[in-house]
Structure 1
Amino acid sequence: MTRNSRHRAIVAAAFLAAVSALAGCGAGTDAITNRPYSPTEALTTKTPQGIDISQAFFLGPDSGATLPAGGALPLYLSVVNTQAGTDQLVGLGVDPALGTAKVTAPVALPQNERVGVGRPTPTILIEGLKKPLRGGESIPVQLQFANAGIIQVRVPVITRSREYTAYPQAPGASAAPTPTPTPTPAATGAETSGTGGH
């Protein structure tokens, strides 16, 4: 083996060792980084009816908390109407075993204009939840449009964490559990014992 090829082999081995070490960073029994991170888990889809939906999600509880039975689940989404004329989002259909859908007012959808639903105040909700939700669930719904008709989608329930912390808390959501501080040796006096003779 020549000096140059030996040098290349050493560099390659060092590179592979560094990659292996970095791959292990964050791994552990409770490391969420073991799963690939997507900037958003919200639904995005284009429909043959001429309705483009993006960033659709139900806002669940804070991470680690619960949205209890009886609470409400607000829907957020962006809609672009690509049909030849205007349209309206007029209703939401959900399984009655989950709760009751409420649409406070139809959402006007001009042609080729992005409309944000739920901002600044949620206008479409599932109320009177029949079971608690923690986030991570996926709910089949029927979005009802005046002209485009019914569009069936599965909308994820996303916890109020990361980029979603700016949204108001879901109605009826319980607070996230407060982490219990771990006592340090200084707090227990372990480090101060036997030091009086100095």
Structure 2
Amino acid sequence: MSRSLRHGALAATALVFSIAGLSACGAGNDAQTLQVRPDNAATAVDSIKIQNLNIITQPEPDAEGPAVIAATLFNDGAKQEVVEKVTLPGTDAIVKLQGAKGKGPLVVPAGGRVIIGGKDNASAVIENGSQAGRNGNVQTVAFTFSETGEIALGAAIVPATGFFKDFGPSSLPSAKPMPTPSDSASETPGEQSEAPGEQSGSPSATPTDSATPTDDAAAGH
């Protein structure tokens, strides 16, 4: 009888864990809802593999400026692939693509790879970072390749802090401050000091010019 009770208790416990797991799945893919940090997105279609995909926003909360897409693209095919465009479906975000060191299109060589994000690497910049979404959420990113076509997958949105600091955007520089009256006053003597120099140059040239006829006259005698 006690053995039956033990089996019944184990079955009830398993049912509770199953319901808890289903409840977590029903919460959706929103990382803030699940209170977990999703793994870096990865997928493979034909000869193209996309790994370590993230959208990286400004390091400071609510800071204005661009966001960037960071990923590694692998091409196991026999032909190079050009990333023709990258979009964020469901948004009006514009993503600007550039090859490594800002040169040429974003090309994934045959049998090679391309890193997007970080110093001297290829870049995919979301001009208006606020359109990328909120930190902690997941946003779909669609890559369009010249041979393979479109590949879409979800990317975690994270700020450019910690591990992502060297791959994300930096804060926009502050506006250049307007000169203060004291600065203007300090520049006035400098401007005036140049004027006497220019005037002193003119008189010094005059005696030299006047001396030239005298020398010619002496040579004539």
Percent identity at matched positions?
Answer: 16
Distance 1:91 1:161, change over 3 A: same
How many residue pairs match? The answer is 136
| Bigger relative contact order (CA 8 A; separation at least 6) | 1
Q: Using the alignment, how far apart are the partners of 2:148 and 2:109 within structure 1? A: 13
The answer to whether the aligner puts 1:58 opposite 2:55 as a matched pair is yes
Q: Using the alignment, how far apart are the partners of 2:138 and 2:170 within structure 1? A: 16
Q: Using the alignment, how far apart are the partners of 1:67 and 1:56 within structure 2? A: 22
Q: Using the alignment, how far apart are the partners of 1:94 and 1:115 within structure 2? A: 20
Deviation at 1:129, TM superposition (A): 4.4
Gaps in structure 1 of 5+ consecutive residues: 1-34, 175-198
Higher strand share: 1
Alignment check: 8 A CA contact 2:47 2:77 kept: yes
Gaps in structure 2 of 5+ consecutive residues: 1-34, 99-103, 175-221
Kindly report which structure 2 residues correspond to 1:16-165, keeping only aligned pairs within 5 A, or say none.
41-47=39-45, 49-62=46-59, 65-68=61-64, 71-95=65-89, 97-104=91-98, 105-121=104-120, 123-129=123-129, 131=131, 133-165=133-165
Residue number in structure 2 paired with 1:192? none
Distance 1:173 1:46, change over 3 A: farther
Higher helix share: 2
Give CA deviations for 1:112-167 in whole Å, capped at 9, x if unaligned.
22221223256212213455854112221220111111111122211223312233
In angstroms, what is the RMSD of aligned CA positions? 3.2
Larger radius of gyration: 2
Distance 1:140 1:108, change over 3 A: same
SS of match in other structure, 1:163: helix
Distance 1:37 1:127, change over 3 A: closer
Deviation at 1:36, TM superposition (A): 6.5
Paired amino acid for 2:78: A
